[in-house]
Each structure stands twice: as C-alpha cells, then as structure tokens.
Chains A and B, each alone.
Chain A
C-alpha cells in the first residue's frame, strides 16, 4: 500500500514534446527573422508641406547641391550671397582602373566654409541629374548631414 502511494507521488513531467514544440517554434522564428538592420533617412518635407516651416524666418542664404551624371557636384549659394561652386570628380582613394567618384571631401570642406559664414543655415536642398543612381543620392545626403543636419530632396 505504502509502495503504491510513493510511486503515485513520484510524478515527472514529460518534457520531450515540449522540447519538440520549442524546436519547431525557434526554427520558424529564426527562418522568418530579418537580420538586416533597416534605418530611416529623413528627406525632409516638400515645399508647402509644413506650416511650421513657413512661419520661421527665412534663412539669409539658400543652399542647393546638384549631383551631375559625370560625378561632379555644383554647390549653389543664393540669397544675400550668390555663388556657384563647382566640385569636380576625383580619382583620389579610387582603385586604379575604376571610374572616378564624387569628391565628398572637397564638398564637405566647402560646406563647412559656407556654414561658418552663415551659421543660421540649417537646411540644404539636394537635387540630381535624371540618370544619377539613388545610391549616390543617398550617399551624398548621408555625407552632407554631417555638416548640415537637414537635407531636403528637390528637383521635382
């Protein structure tokens, strides 16, 4: 009698089916998980889209950067100062035998000079030639944001 009661109390949970379920679930989640980290780049608000933007005092100068199809930049300063700064393509840092690239270094230097002269300017409009690839536009936006925080897409 006492033996049968002790065997009833010695209860053990059968973990094997639980492990099975967990394995299937983990496999499914690992298969459906995305390991690519996607970020969001703020391309600003299109003209006339924001009421707050129009309420602010207009900046002394407007900055525009145009990306050319032959890997050159044109930095335009309009307003209280009118200047066009062309920045030619560069082969510096580009492997031999490959095409020249945009000269981000010179662009950032020129932007820093303009920003030092007009410190209240916090936005720039970026435009590009029709054939310029989206990757180049995003790379330019990313570089410019290091100097001027707000980069708006324009040209449409």
Chain B
C-alpha cells in the first residue's frame, strides 16, 4: 500500500510535455511547406536587389529561358553575359540592328544547345519562349536591345516577369 502511494506521488510530480501533438503540428507544417516548395520549383526567382514592376499577371508556372536585366549586368540563366552601366549597354556592345553583341552570343549558345537536344530527343521541341526578368528602372532602350537580341536568335515569344498585385 505504501509503495503504491509513493508511486502515485512521483507520477503526479513529473510533468511531461505532450510531444505527440507537437509532432503532428510540425508534420502538417512540413508537408504544407514541401508542397508549396515543389510547386514553386519551376518559377521565377529574381536576384537580390532586383525590384520588379507590379502588374496583374498570370501564374508563373512556365519553364523557359530566363534573361535577367539588373542595374549592372544582363544574366542568362543566372550567368552574367553582358555588363551594363546604369541600366544601359555599352555603346560598343550595341550593333547596327540594335542588338547586343555579347547577349546575342550567349543566346545563340543556348539556342544551339536546345537544337542539339531537340535533334537527339524527338519529344523535346525548340522553345521560342523567353522570360524577361527586368528591374523596374531599366530604360526601354535596354529592354528593346534585349528583346531584339532574343528575337534574332529565335526567342520570339516574350514573357515578362512581374510582381502580382491588386
């Protein structure tokens, strides 16, 4: 009898945290985050310091070649291919038809790669889409040069990345 009382006393003194319910909450949170993470794997992620314009756009669930125009450079698939000075191309880089020489070279390389893949695999088609991720302060002359360079290399379907608003 005595020992029974003693055991009861120790049980009531031990306050244990209900970890099972906490684990449930964490699991649900993790599943939710993983789901949203997987859905956004193909989306556009602008670089740090970029400020995209706001507009009422469609979903960004497309996968295409990404060209990013920031204050100091133009990046193709995350790699810097042309330098800018105050959002503008160097005049020496601009050709007579308004295209950028260095950007055209990089886009041509990407195009050749796509063509090679399409030749090897009949299921893959050469994609004319290009996603332009541009800072809101970029002048239209720079955007024009980028679009002209893209069109010259077969990327004729322009998609503009914007921050969804309103």
Chain A residues with CB under 8 Å of chain B are: 15-16, 18-19, 22-23, 25-26, 29-30, 32-34, 36-46, 48-50, 67, 128-135, 137-139, 141-142, 145, 153, 155-156
Contacts and interface: CB of A to CB of B under 8 A. Distances in A.
A29 B30 CA distance: 8
B158 to A, nearest CB: 4
A49 B151 contact: yes
B143 A44 contact: no
A156 B161 contact: no
B140 A130 contact: yes
- Please report whether the interface of chain B is mostly helix, strand, loop or mixed according to DSSP: mixed
Given A16-B19, A133-B140, A46 B147 contact: yes
Contact of B158 (A26, A36, A153): A153
Interface string B135-149: 111111101110110
Interface of B: 19-20, 22-23, 26-27, 29-30, 33-34, 36-37, 40, 43-46, 52-60, 62, 98, 128, 131-132, 134-141, 143-145, 147-148, 151, 156-164
Contacts of A130: 139-141, 144
- Please report whether the interface of chain A is mostly helix, strand, loop or mixed according to DSSP: mixed
B57 A39 contact: yes
Contacts of B147: 46, 153, 156
